[in-house]
Amino acid sequence: MDSTSQMADFSESNFIQALSLGKTEKTPVWFMRQAGRSLPEYRAIRGVGSILDAVANPSLAAEITMQPVKRYGVDAAILYSDIIVPVHACGFGIDIIPGTGPTTDRPFEGESDLKRLANFDAKTDTGYVLSTIEILKKELEVPLIGFAGGPFTVASYLIEGKPSRNFIKTKQMMYTQPKLFESLLWRLTEITVDFLSAQAQSGVNAIQLFDSWVGALSPREYRRFITPCASEIFSSLSKFNIPMISFGTNTSELLGLFVEAGASAVGLDSNTEITTATKRLGDKVAIQGNLDPVVCLTSVDNIISQARQVLMDSAFAPGYVFNLGHGVLPETDPTKLVELVDFLHQNGEEIRKNERASATLANREEHIK
């Protein structure tokens, strides 16, 4: 393949086929946080300081993006970036403190703080991300995933001022100042649409919306506050005709709402079994996931045994991409992920096919119901 054809089209790749509910010859796989601290080659070139500095350096960011593709042979690259890149770029005043996470000294508290998010133009403010994509489109031999943070998750960082477990300030604003909260979510939605559209125009082959902490909301709260935003994001992006994956942790009760909002695929964490999601979501949605990242800290035998179970669970998913239930843990031994990817590529479709064949009619009916 020459690079021109690669830039144009990965539609026949196993990754895009799986997300489009098409045919796969091998089970496609990538890992959330595949580029990052678990890779010695990453630690070697990354240096110290904020991840935001590395993201703002296109040749470095492109190199980091490609490292796991080279090392693991995964079926997709994901842009080396962070969900707070756009709000950082528009001058809100937020940074990522190593070991802590996104932190701001001036949390979002009122109407006037919206001004700190007023100016965002993806091409101007995050041109470096688009430059990274341009480099990658010339170099990569696999599809490239673009991404953005979901409105709830980004809002929670702005409101809490730091990573949170209970989202108390965020929910207080949602309950007591719903208009303000909606204004914030809506502004983040506009930024996200702009940012993801620019990524799509630059040639990413799929996008993932990481609303990692949206599982803190009830379905009713999601429907009221997040559905309008997620629907706007997915419908604005639909013209690019690329798969759109929606992911969050503890979202078992929200998966159907992801689909209603327009996601073409859902990323599952390890708590929701793939069989359950397949039953609930029907035959129009691809599924991605969901090996527990902690499994990857154990022996190769155990990793493969549990990956086999995940593959069996996925047998009746209308489209399926292997992934973890959350990001690769920093202490993961990358040589084990190499073996996992080899196993999946060599055996994945066979295991899934055998599982379908061995299911009795009764099981099959239960699976596809």
User: Binding site residues for substrate, as ranges?
Assistant: 33-37, 82, 157, 212, 326
369 touches its own copies by CB under 8 A: no
- Other CB atoms within 10 Å distance of the CB of residue 90: 21
Residue ranges in 288-307 that form contacts with its own copies under rule CB under 8 A: 292, 294-295, 297-299, 302, 306
Of 167 and 258, CB closest to its own copies: 167
Q: Which two tokens stand for residue 4?
A: 């021109």
Q: x-or-dash pattern for its own copies, window 302-341, by CB under 8 A?
A: x---x--x-------------------x------------
Minimum distance from CB of 19 to its own copies (Å)?
23
Binding-site annotation: residue ranges: 33-37, 82, 157, 212, 326
- Other CB atoms within 10 Å distance of the CB of residue 327: 18
Q: Please choose, from the candidates 206, 61, 199, the residue with its C-alpha nearest in 3D space to the C-alpha of residue 144.
A: 206
- Per CB under 8 A, the list member of 3, 100, 218, 235 interacting with its own copies is 218
Q: Is 33 among the catalytic positions?
A: yes
| End-to-end Cα distance, the chain | 41
DSSP 29: B
In which order are the strands placed within the sheet that holds 77-78?
77-78, 144-149, 206-210, 244-247, 265-267, 286-291, 320-324
Minimum distance from CB of 253 to its own copies (Å)?
5
Of 53 and 221, CB closest to its own copies: 221
- Per CB under 8 A, the list member of 3, 172, 235, 358 interacting with its own copies is 172
Question: 303 exposed, middle or buried (CB, 10 Å; 0-12, 13-18, 19+)?
Answer: buried
Minimum distance from CB of 167 to its own copies (Å)?
8
Q: Candidates 8-16, 40-48, 148-156, 210-218 — which segment interacts with its own copies by CB under 8 A?
A: 210-218
> Are the CB atoms for 352 and 344 separated by under 8 Å?
no
Of 276 and 347, CB closest to its own copies: 276
Q: x-or-dash pattern for its own copies, window 241-260, by CB under 8 A?
A: ---------x-xx-------
Residue 149 DSSP SS3: strand
CA 82, 83, 85, 91 dihedral sign is negative
Which positions ≥6 away from 192 have C-beta within 8 Å?
86, 148, 149, 150, 151, 154, 209, 233
Minimum distance from CB of 114 to its own copies (Å)?
22
Minimum distance from CB of 297 to its own copies (Å)?
6
Cα–Cα distances in Å, from 59 out to 65, 66, 120, 138? 10, 11, 23, 12
Minimum distance from CB of 45 to its own copies (Å)?
27
166 touches its own copies by CB under 8 A: yes
Q: Is 224 among the catalytic positions?
A: no
356 touches its own copies by CB under 8 A: no
Q: Please choose, from the candidates 105, 92, 65, the residue with its C-alpha nearest in 3D space to the C-alpha of residue 81.
A: 65
- Per CB under 8 A, the list member of 111, 219, 284, 346 interacting with its own copies is 219
In total, the chain counts a number of residues equal to 369
Q: Is 157 among the catalytic positions?
A: yes
83 touches its own copies by CB under 8 A: no
DSSP labels for 216-267? GS-HHHIIIIIHHHHHHHHHHHGGG---EEEE-TT-GGGHHHHHHTT-SEEE
Q: Which residues of this chain interact with its own copies, rule CB under 8 A?
A: 165-168, 171-172, 175-176, 215-220, 250, 252-253, 270-273, 276, 292, 294-295, 297-299, 302, 306, 309, 329
